[in-house]
Amino acid sequence: MKTLRQSLGYLIAGILLYFLIKPFLQTHTELKDATFQVHWGWLVCSFGIILFYWSAYLSPFATLLSSITQKHVPFRAAFTLFHLANITRYLPGRIWGVVRLLALSKRFALSKTAVGSSLTLHVGIETALGGLIGLSLLFSPKMRETAVGMLDKMSGHTTLLSLACIGILIATLFLIPKVSTHTQEFLKTLTSLGQHSRLWMDVIAGHILLWICQGFAFFLFVQSFASVQWADAGVLTACFALAWIIGFLSFLTPGGLGVREGLLGLLLANYMPAPQATLVALLCRVWMLAAEIVLAGVALTLKRRVKR
């Protein structure tokens, strides 16, 4: 069994490495012309902030989980549970992060329904706010044309595929008896939480602060490779949010790999040469993934200490 787990770990690492290197190989001709200097101070600072973001990311999730289970769920437990599962979302299929999260819930004495409901609400609020931030690009004279062009490209096959996947998901939720039971329990949970206005205010405020934190970290990351004005921090946050949302809605690649980087590169090309923008967008994925791997390692250490 131990050998099987180790082999599976190597397989997952290989798949992650493949999807990470693939975009670099696909754009290697453009990247040959990308030259710039790295400002290590800004880069280290941005990495520290993104680590803080991924740590604080679990606060709204833990709040929802505590409210649904009607018992205090320690932040440490929510942190360990989430980050042990989060890294597997890069596996092909887009569902393995959720599957892993639900599978681990029993070890933390939490029901799958409570964890699934909390995650759905958590990600739903994050996505809705990210969509609003991303759409703010339509009010930026400098970015409006690029943003509209990206939305036009998305309106064809990608939209149809997304709608088809959503339709299949909805049918699955209500037609398969076991899944339908969990769906009905989630709807009951949502109805009961609707009475707690303070809870929703706290969770939404938490997500707004998280988006500000993530946007500032991304701005410093871009600043470490290209000289951009501090006044553009809000627009660059919206660029990241729009690319993140479209990558999230893409069902073609795990974790939006490739899709997010391609769109982000197009948006960043308004602030730097296109080859440089492409490379910065690809390095952004490495930057984000590195933070997730670090925190997954921390979560694994916490899990082993609990066992002892």
- 78-103 pLDDT, tens digit each: 999 999 888 777 665 567 677 788 88
Q: How far apart are CA 261 and CA 25, in angstroms?
A: 13
Is the whole-model pTM more than 0.85?
Answer: no
Q: How far apart are CA 78 and CA 65, in angstroms?
A: 8
Q: How far apart are CA 285 and CA 260, in angstroms?
A: 9
Per-domain boundaries in the chain: 38-307
pLDDT tens-place string over residues 6-55? 555 545 555 555 555 555 555 555 555 556 678 999 999 999 999 999 99
Distance of CA 123 to the CA centre of its chain: 9
Intra-chain end-to-end CA distance of the chain, in Å:
20
SS3 130: helix
